[in-house]
Amino acid sequence: MRINKFLASCGIASRRKVEEYILDGRITVNGQVTTNLSTDILESDVVLFDGKPVKNREEFEYYMLNKPVGYISSAQDDRNRKTVVSLIKTNARIYPVGRLDFNSEGLLLLTNDGELTNKLTHPKHNIGKTYIVKINSNITDRELNLVRNGVTIDGYKLHPCKIKVLDGSENYTRFEITIFEGRNREIRKMFEVIKKQVVYLKRIKIENLRLGNLKTGEYRKLSKAEIEYLKNL
C-alpha cells in the first residue's frame, strides 16, 4: 500500500495532509526518513510519525457538528484559539473534513477516516456544498452572473456555481449558493471581486446530507446510512 494511503487509513490525517507530513520529513520507515510519496508500505514495516509508532487504524468515527462562529477548523492551533475538535467528546484522533473559516458557521464533518476525507475535499470529486450567504448590499444581474459563471481569485478561475437569490433590499442580499471546489475562503473572495462583503455565511448541506435542526455548537454521530451515502458519492 502506498505510504500516503497507509497513513490516511491509520487515521493520521487526510491523504493530502499526510503527503505534507511526508514531504516535511516527519515519517520514518524502518528507521529511515522517507520523503518519497511512492514508497510502498509492507506489513512488516515499522512506520513512525514524529517518532511515534503508527498503529493499524483505530475504529473510524464520523460526526456532524453545527460549527459556531469563533472556532477554527483544526485539531490544534499554535495561537491557542478554540478548535472545532475541542467540541467533540471522543478519544479518537479526529479532524475536520475540509474547513469553515473562523467567522463562518454550520455543517462541518469530523472523522478519523482519511480516505473519506480525501474523497469529500479533493476538487476532482466535485462534491457540492451549499451555504446560506448574506452580503451587505444589493446586487445587479450582471454582478450575479459574474459570480455564478466563475470569477478569478488568487490567479485561479473558479468553476461555475449555483446561486439562488432568497431575498434582499438596498442594504442586503441573501442567497443560497452551492460550490464544488471548496478553496480557502472561496465564497468570501468571490464577492470581494465584485466589491461586496459577506456578512453571514452558514453551510447547510453537503450534497444531500443536511444540517437539519442541529443547534449551534451541538454535534451527533452520523448514521450508518449517512456514512454509506457519503462513501458512495
Q: Is 101 a catalytic residue?
A: yes
Q: Which of 24, 78, 101, 167 is catalytic?
A: 101
Calpha distance 34→93 (Å, rounded) = 23
Helices 114-121 & 15-23 angle (0-180, nearest 10)? 100
- Angle at Cα 91 formed by Cα 89 and Cα 97, nearest 5°? 75
Active-site positions?
101
